[in-house]
Structure 1
Amino acid sequence: MLYHLLNAKRSTKRLITVGYDFIAIPLAIYLALALRHGEVLVNINNHTAATMIITTIISLLVFVKLGFYRAVIRFMASKAFTSLTLGILISAAVLGSSSFLTQANVPRSSLIIYVFTALALLALPRLFIRNLVSQLGQSGAKPVIIYGAGQQGVQLCQSLLSSRDYKPVAFIDDDRKKQNTQINGLPVLAQPDLELLSQQRGCKKILLALGNTGFSQRKKLIEQLARYPLEVLTAPAVADIVSGKARIEEVREVEIDDLLGREAVSPDAQLIGRNIRNKVVLVTGAGGSIGSELCRQALRQNPKQLILLELNEFSLYAIEQELQQLKQQENLAADIISILGSVQRQNRLETIFTTFKVQTIYHAAAYKHVPLVEHNVVEGVRNNVFGTWYCAEAAIKAGVERFVLVSTDKAVRPTNVMGTSKRLAELVLQALNQRQQDTLFCMVRFGNVLGSSGSVVPLFRRQIKQGGPITVTHPDIIRYFMTIPEASQLVLQAGAMGKGGDVFVLDMGEPVKIVNLAKKMIQLSGLSEKTDNNPDGDIEIQFTGLRPGEKLYEELLIGDNVEGSSHPRIMTANEIYLEWPETHNLLHRLDKACHEFRVEDVINLLLEAPAAYNKQGDCPDWVMNASRR
């Protein structure tokens, strides 16, 4: 019966509601008179009956005017009930006026009683239906705890009360003034109550509604919550909700950058836009993790044109569509030009740079996955070394003003081909910067970025969802981490600070032990680690051994000769480099070895270069080893 009623047409529901009110209003008047006279049976004469009919009809018209019958009862908010109270007060005034006009014997005190009887008969059933439907709609919803009883937490609670996914059962807040109170009918408790809540109410998830809490506080809180058997989720930031980027109920997994605890340094607006604003800007590798974020950041700085150069068709399509949408949303004026092409084709690059009169280039195109490059040595060197060289030579011939190379911490004392190829790319640009004065070359070196295509974070998250195990190469391996937006902002700012041949190093904060990262991700998923001491745990961590070319520790500096800069997160490294004739000779021999696919000669030339390459074991190149069988 209730199911059919809830799923009936809107017109049918309105008719039922009006019919109920048509009966409830005269009944409320009768109850008011009965309570006033202290009798169950009240004599209703013609004058009183006429008063009741007039009051009912006018009251219904007032309710229609106030929009009562347009409101969906199951979603009625406090504002709707305030309006209902106003309508009942108007109805009481109509009752008093009509009784005066019809000369009915309606005591004035009964008007006050009528207000309460009408509220009981009109408001309480609506509240009952709203709560009943809400409970029925949340019958399969998962019980959750909301951490934070501030404005964002209250908004999240109200939103979830009409959700079929989650049912809030309590608030947790550190403010003692809020503890032991109730908000939206839910208790506000302290953090130590979490254990009891999870046991008694069957809660498996806790939703963070922390508002604009700083990263350091957020990190401290998340680490505290990791002790409890709860999956930690987070609500969108208030700024994203206000801007329309997210809805309050769109909870998500805790991002690992919340665990870094790094307070973001606001970018220098003048510095970040110096080589972009009103200029023609080109980004190579525009569809990659860093390249795509560089495009987003650059577009917001209002370049004259933003040119996207990418070899992968789908990646280029995806970033172009995203940038066009961003351009429309933020009312940006720059032309966005998408070009398919490889950085290994110098003539094509020259034509592009000259045709569009490119002024600033951010060179993010590279192969960055260490084991893959170890297995594909020639292609790694071709793309990372020669792709950079050809792109730089084309920039010189086209009169490009500034060329910024996105480098890596793996270029420092590398133990793999990928890192060595990036260090050699740095050496090429440093030599070219000495050879000529028209194009300024600089490079920016930093560590791992969270969420990139090769990052361990999405891998661990996927392994946890599959039930494990999580695979970590070595128990002692550590890495530096930075968010993609922060790294990209710093690249733009460092590039603007370059004076020629500079190697900029970004402050990556404290290194993170990968096994500890894996353990925290398990805990934040509300699961436990499976160990010898805890055989009934959920997720096991397995150590698979270092992959080809992989190091335990990454470095950002080759030597100790480092200087600060005007930016607190950017340093300048003064490192050795070759003159152009020596560099050109090395490149010429390397090119010939690559062309003839002499992998061992390629490796030997990389060892000969002043890149401090520390080769580990035999070369695992797939094709070379297969050809020897």
Structure 2
Amino acid sequence: MVAADLIALPFCFLVAILLRGGDLDLVSGFSPASYFLVAVVTVTTFSVSDLYRAVIRFIDQRLLSITGLSLAVAILCAYVVMFIINEKSFPRSALAIYWFVGFSYVVASRVGMRNFLRNQDLRGRRVSEVVAIYGAGEAGARLAQTMHGGDEYRPVCFFDDKHALNERKIGALRVFNTERLVEIVNAMCIRSIVIAIPSVSPARLRDIMNRLSKAGISTRILSRLVDLAGETPSPHEAIRELKFEDLLGRPPVPPRIDLFARCVRGKTVLVTGAGGSIGSELCRQIVTLAPSHMHLLDHSEFALYTIRQELTTRFPDLHIVAHLGSVCNADLVGRILRDSKVDTIYHAAAYKHVPLVESNIVEGMRNNVVGAQVIAAQAALHHVKTCVLISSDKAVRPTNVMGASKRIAELIFQAAATRPETSTTFAMVRFGNVLGSSGSVIPLFQRQISQGGPITITHPEMSRYFMLIPEAAQLVIQAGAMAKGGDVFVLEMGEPVKIVDLARSLIALSGLTEKTLQNPNGDIEVRYVGLFPGEKLHEELLIDGTVIPSEHPRIMRMKENALPPSVLDTFIACLMMACETNDRAMIESMARAIVPEYNPQQALAVPTAVPISQSSTQLSVIKKFVPFRM
């Protein structure tokens, strides 16, 4: 570079003098040494600006800009020197012309050599993927430039919704309107599309996905804004696979750090159902908050072994104890709390799959109700400071056995909070559907897509609230920190999402198309199979309770009606007696006595809540089991 500049820069100065004088007379008035001296001064300036330390194939706009500024400083210094020595024979305007000529030479030579070297590197390599960029804005333009510098992707065009950009060019790539998406994808053999729209909202992203699904190609998204003026990530770093969380319909809710560790740091923590989807994520987040001891309880040997191995590998110095057994075993739970002096309990153990619990009503009721009763009683007996129940939105005006059992569990915790002798703070957390948890629709749909379809949906209008597994675990931990006693906490989850929209988004994410009457050659069919017994079209999060602001702006706190502890204990005893009979009608009648809004006959309707104090069903049903006076 130094040798090339020492040869080329004297000619740049000669061109500047020639442009200034208009003929050779002015040029001949200076000796060759003058031209060489200008080149030496310029090279010295370039050396100060670190131009000669740069690797040519990675030279960037920032370094060239600094070089131009350094050249301008050198010329300014030359002006000052001429003014001081009062040199009048030299045309000073030639120096300004020399800046433009010299800088043009520097940019052209470096960029030209950079492109030559990169082309030599790419020669013989196979470009792995032909892509298009969705979004012809600044981020898309930067991404295209970054892709041109690597061999992982070869961008061929832009797509954009703006009609004003149709058939325009950005760099060397043409912009097409999204109305021509299928046509252009097929014509250019595009294999995937990268969405390059910074801070795109989930609703807008779902709309984009619906458009891209017509093309039947895979979709990626720009994960980092490419900065060509500074640090430039590789295309592999800048682009990631589009995750289903991107289509959640709202931005994830961040936790409040000051609430996060309040019930965990330096404390002994017990998680029941530790091997489940929610329980295991709870454990993963809890161990990062430096508890003094960690206890895991689960009835599944494999699930308990798996989560214990994971936690001990990540945190070998943390004291972690795994207990194999059921939460319905009061002796086991009592022994754990007594021997370990547990400070905080997160009760995640429950049967939650609606169709399975619906067809196994006795075991579903026993596990969910007795488990909550044992945890609440033992927590109060052994003076646990905080005890949090993980409930479900299906507990609100339930139409299935699982929802009814979870509402009874809530009533148990609410009653436990009202007992005058208790020193334990009891709280409940209601979840919507948790993306990626066992039994959720996403793993089911992904499995059906991998098998070639069809995707089965119970009803075209079915909708659900969704949250991420980390959000669910963070909500539980923060709820324990904010609880005052008997509180119900619910995450503000935005608008419910239609299940059929989720299915279509997953089809698009897989690079496939939906098979319909209008598109009989599509890949995956969406088939409606009808509602399962006890299944609702739409879930709710609130009963008729009072909503109170919590310490977190996106978490709602509620106070809801509860039964007196003595009455609830009698009801539950009768419910367990009904379970002994294995008579479904009797069990459902007893459940309705405890939860008047439970309506197993109407899965499609949302019945009006009946205040517990106004229910005449309670007395009539309970008298069938126990002769007593109230």
Provide the TM-score with structure 2 as the length reference: 0.68
1:515 to 500, 504, 519: 500
Contact 1:561 1:575 in 2 (8 A): no
Aligned counterparts of 1:451 and 1:114: Cα–Cα separation in 2: 65
Partner of 1:143: 131
In structure 1, what residue type is equivalent to 2:55?
V
Q: Deviation per CA, 1:192-234: give whole Å up to 9, x if none.
A: 6766764665555444444445555555665566667665543
1:76 to 59, 67, 76: 59
CA spacing shift, 1:173–1:555, aligned 2, 3 Å: closer
Contact 1:138 1:167 in 2 (8 A): no
Q: Return the offset for 1:449.
A: 1.5
In structure 1, what residue type is equivalent to 2:307?
S
Q: Deviation per CA, 1:406-442: give whole Å up to 9, x if none.
A: 0123456767665565455445545655665333434
SS in 2 for 1:81: helix
Contact 1:490 1:570 in 2 (8 A): no
Partner of 1:249: 238
Contact 1:144 1:166 in 2 (8 A): no
Q: Aligned pair 1:529/2:521, yes or no? A: no
Partner of 1:619: none
SS in 2 for 1:534: coil
CA spacing shift, 1:585–1:303, aligned 2, 3 Å: farther
Partner of 1:4: none
2:537 to 553, 556, 568: 553
Aligned counterparts of 1:215 and 1:471: Cα–Cα separation in 2: 23
SS in 2 for 1:366: coil
Aligned runs of 1:137-536 on 2, under 5 Å? 139-147=127-135, 149=137, 156-157=143-144, 159-168=146-155, 198=185, 203=190, 205-212=192-199, 215=202, 231-236=218-223, 249-256=238-245, 258=247, 260=249, 262=250, 281-286=269-274, 288-291=276-279, 294=282, 305=292, 307=294, 309=296, 311=298, 312-318=304-310, 338-342=320-324, 344=326, 346=330, 349-354=333-338, 357-370=341-354, 384-411=368-395, 418-419=402-403, 422-423=406-407, 425-426=409-410, 428-429=412-413, 432-433=416-417, 437-461=422-446, 463-464=448-449, 466=450, 468-476=452-460, 478-484=462-468, 485-488=470-473, 490-491=475-476, 510-523=495-508, 527-536=512-521
SS in 2 for 1:341: strand
Aligned runs of 1:43-192 on 2, under 5 Å? 48=32, 50-51=33-34, 54-56=37-39, 59-86=42-69, 88-89=71-72, 111-112=95-96, 114-132=98-116, 136=122, 139-147=127-135, 149=137, 156-157=143-144, 159-168=146-155
In structure 1, what residue type is equivalent to 2:320?
S
SS in 1 for 2:438: coil
Q: Return the offset for 1:531.
A: 2.5
Q: Return the offset for 1:516.
A: 3.4
In structure 2, what residue type is equivalent to 1:253?
L
Contact 1:409 1:554 in 2 (8 A): no
Aligned runs of 1:27-38 on 2, under 5 Å? 27-29=11-13
2:525 to 535, 540, 544: 540
CA spacing shift, 1:21–1:446, aligned 2, 3 Å: same
Partner of 1:12: none
Q: Return the offset for 1:338.
A: 3.3
Q: Return the offset for 1:395.
A: 1.6
Q: Deviation per CA, 1:369-388: give whole Å up to 9, x if none.
A: 44666798888667645544
Aligned counterparts of 1:290 and 1:535: Cα–Cα separation in 2: 40
Aligned counterparts of 2:57 and 2:363: Cα–Cα separation in 1: 62
Contact 2:14 2:27 in 1 (8 A): no
CA spacing shift, 1:200–1:270, aligned 2, 3 Å: same
Contact 1:380 1:417 in 2 (8 A): yes
Aligned counterparts of 2:486 and 2:72: Cα–Cα separation in 1: 79
Aligned-residue sequence identity (percent) comes to 36
Contact 2:213 2:512 in 1 (8 A): no
CA spacing shift, 1:54–1:201, aligned 2, 3 Å: same
Contact 1:480 1:508 in 2 (8 A): no
Aligned length: 567
Q: Return the offset for 1:253.
A: 0.9
CA spacing shift, 1:374–1:185, aligned 2, 3 Å: same
SS in 1 for 2:244: coil
Q: Which range moved further: 120-129 or 491-500?
A: 491-500
Structure 2: which 5+ runs fail to align?
226-230, 299-303, 593-597, 603-630
Q: Return the offset for 1:603.
A: 6.8
SS in 1 for 2:434: strand
Provide the TM-score with structure 1 as the length reference: 0.68
Aligned counterparts of 2:583 and 2:297: Cα–Cα separation in 1: 26
SS in 2 for 1:407: strand
Aligned counterparts of 1:108 and 1:505: Cα–Cα separation in 2: 75
Contact 2:454 2:526 in 1 (8 A): yes
